[in-house]
């Protein structure tokens, strides 16, 4: 028992401090190397796991590391559960079964022309000037329009959905504000759902709303359904925007990378994975200890919060040789950017499809793209990425960009 009784090392990680985001990965690397099982005194205290093996183990062990008491550190304070993220099996499994068929690579094929058009339309206004902020001018509309296309909500105002979703995410740690902002988004989505209830399904949201469940299953409540749609709508926004921007940043700034990709497109997927490993748009997720457990000899008690630090695990030298190097030739790039275990991201194939089609666009239509100013990095309690990426390229008329 002596090992378990030993006081753990303290590491003062405060993920609500904006100053953290200027040197996020240096801090996470330092924490992982000094205190792989760290105790941060912020917000009443939480554990932070940052070694790759520990994070994978905890993410796969819902009996000890539950999501039912929230997935954010500090907690969002929103009263409604996001589903399926904040459920344990067996209830969790039911929602995964409902959602997964719509997000396989194969199922997504039917949306490729529509997503290509969304990307073409996003680039079209900036082509004549030959200058753009890749984050705000181009990337912002793509993920929100892509999920709206799939769900069948393209008639919706994407700026409004984006604003509601971004406001909701920005309220993490401010319970009153979070509740108020969640209510605005919920009211909007409720209207979309109600319209489809009992009506013949003409889109994916309609199919989900009217899905027949096996008779022996407990029916999905209205609140659960709303929580599920809310997560689908919110989960892909900042995350995929950040993925697009960091991918383009690496494309421009890694010596020789663009030339390699132009010569060999089979490297595209490896390039995207290596970007996501080094720049995980979601750099941590939260859990709560459900029953007594221990990690590397450190005891953890029920009710204690745990942060799974994906951003540190992705750069763990015991898992990724020379981890700070951008290397598209990595033999095995099993990064944790989409999580691991039962809660692994449902939208991974969609996010990767959007990134692939954007990368194809850049390589095909504006291959001479280069930096046009200083990129601006930023973050939130569990998000990280570029807030601004000024680029320039040879101007061209949007009409000349032509068909794919
Ligand atoms: C680059 C873009 C994205 C990143 C980095 C990302 C990251 C993640 C991560 C890390 C988790 C696991 C959470 C955990 O450990 O508890 C997750 C879960 C989830 N993501 Fe994503 N995501 C992305 C895009 C999307 C998109 C486009 C969708 C749209 C459907 C989506 C839907 C979900 C859902 C529904 C879950 C919950 C899964 C569950 O709890 O079973 N994500 N995502």
Summarised one tens digit per residue, pLDDT across range 308-362 is 999 999 999 999 999 999 999 998 899 999 999 999 999 999 999 999 999 999 9
Strand pairing report for 37-40 and 46-49: antiparallel
- Binning pLDDT at 50, 70 and 90, where does residue 140 land? very high
- 228 within ligand 1 shell (Cβ under 6 A): no
Q: Is the pLDDT of residue 6 over 60?
A: no
Ligand 1: atom nearest CA of 146 is: 27
Give the distance from CA 140 to its chain's centroid. Answer: 14
Confidence of residue 10 (pLDDT cuts 50, 70, 90): very high
**Is the C-beta atom of 71 inside 6 A of ligand 1?**
yes
Instruction: State the total domains in the chain.
Output: 1
236 close to ligand 1 (CB < 6 Angstrom): yes
pLDDT at residue 3 is higher than 60: no
Q: What is the pLDDT, as a whole number, of residue 398?
A: 76
- Per-residue b or e along 133-142, where b marks 16 or more CB atoms closer than 10 Å to that residue's CB: bbbebbbbbb
Does the beta carbon of 350 lie inside 6 Å of ligand 1? yes
Is 166 a residue whose pLDDT tops 90? Answer: no
Which structural domain, as residue segments, surrounds residue 357?
Answer: 2-401
321-348 b/e with 16+ CB inside 10 Å = b?
A: eebeebbbebeebebbbbbbbbbebbbe
Ligand 1 centre from 78 Cα, in Å? Answer: 18
Give me ligand 1 centre to Cα 278, in Å: 17
Distance 255 CA to ligand 1 centre (A): 31
Give the pLDDT band (50/70/90) at residue 149: very high
pLDDT at 171 over 80: no
Q: Does the beta carbon of 286 sit less than 6 angstroms from any atom of ligand 1? A: no
The pLDDT tens digits for 172-205 are 666 677 677 778 888 889 999 999 998 889 899 9
Distance 66 CA to ligand 1 centre (A): 17
- Please state the rounded mean pLDDT for residues 237-254: 96
Give me the residues paired with residue 303 across strands.
Answer: none
CATH no. for residue 216? 1.10.630.10
- Cα–Cα distances in Å, from 230 out to 23, 24, 76, 219? 31, 28, 14, 19
Least confident of 118-132, 183-197, 235-249: 183-197
Q: Which stretch of 49-63, 175-189, 264-278 has the lowest confidence by average pLDDT?
A: 175-189
Q: Taking 90 as the threshold, does the pLDDT of residue 76 lie above it?
A: no
Where are the alpha helices (H) located in 198-347, listed in sequence order?
A: 204-209, 222-235, 237-253, 257-263, 268-278, 310-313
Among 320, 329, 162, 312, smallest CA distance to 256 is for 329
Task: Compute the distance from residue 214 Cα to the ligand 1 centre, in Å.
Answer: 26
């Amino acid at each position: 028992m002596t090992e378990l009784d030993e006081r753990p090392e303290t590491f003062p990680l405060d993920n609500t401090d904006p100053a953290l985001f200027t040197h996020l990965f240096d801090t996470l690397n330092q924490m992982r190397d000094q205190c792989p099982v760290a105790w941060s005194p912020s917000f009443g205290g939480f554990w932070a796991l940052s070694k790759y093996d520990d994070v994978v183990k905890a993410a796969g062990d819902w009996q000890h590391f539950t999501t039912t008491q929230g997935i954010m550190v500090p907690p969002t304070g929103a009263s409604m559960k996001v589903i399926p993220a904040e459920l344990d099996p067996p209830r969790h499994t039911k929602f995964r079964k409902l959602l997964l068929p719509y997000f396989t690579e194969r199922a997504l094929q039917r949306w490729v022309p529509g997503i290509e058009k969304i990307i073409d339309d996003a680039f079209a206004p900036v082509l004549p000037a030959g200058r753009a902020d890749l984050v705000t001018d181009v990337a912002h509309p793509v993920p929100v329009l892509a999920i709206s296309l799939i769900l069948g909500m393209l008639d919706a105002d994407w700026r409004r959905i984006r604003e509601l979703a971004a406001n909701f995410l920005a309220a993490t740690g401010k319970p009153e504000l979070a509740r108020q902002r969640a209510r605005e988004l919920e009211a909007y989505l409720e209207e979309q759902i109600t319209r489809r209830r009992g009506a013949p399904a003409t889109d994916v949201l309609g199919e989900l709303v009217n899905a027949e469940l096996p008779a022996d299953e407990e029916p999905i409540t209205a609140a659960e359904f709303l929580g599920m749609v809310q997560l689908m709508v919110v989960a892909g926004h900042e995350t995929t925007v950040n993925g697009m921007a960091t991918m383009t940043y690496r494309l421009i700034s890694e010596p020789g990378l663009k030339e390699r990709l132009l010569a060999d497109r089979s490297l595209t997927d490896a390039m995207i994975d290596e970007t996501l490993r080094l720049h995980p748009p979601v750099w941590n997720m939260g859990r709560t200890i459900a029953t007594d457990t221990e990690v590397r000899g450190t005891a953890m008690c029920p009710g204690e919060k745990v942060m799974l630090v994906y951003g540190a695990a992705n750069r763990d030298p015991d898992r990724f040789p020379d981890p700070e190097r951008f290397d598209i030739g990595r033999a095995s790039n099993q990064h944790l950017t989409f999580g691991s275990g039962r809660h692994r991201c449902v939208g991974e194939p969609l996010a990767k499809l959007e990134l692939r089609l954007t990368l194809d666009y850049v390589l095909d239509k504006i291959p001479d793209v280069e930096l046009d100013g200083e990129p601006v990095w930023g973050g939130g309690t569990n998000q990280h990425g570029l807030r601004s990426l000024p680029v320039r390229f040879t101007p061209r008329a949007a009409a000349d960009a032509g068909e794919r």
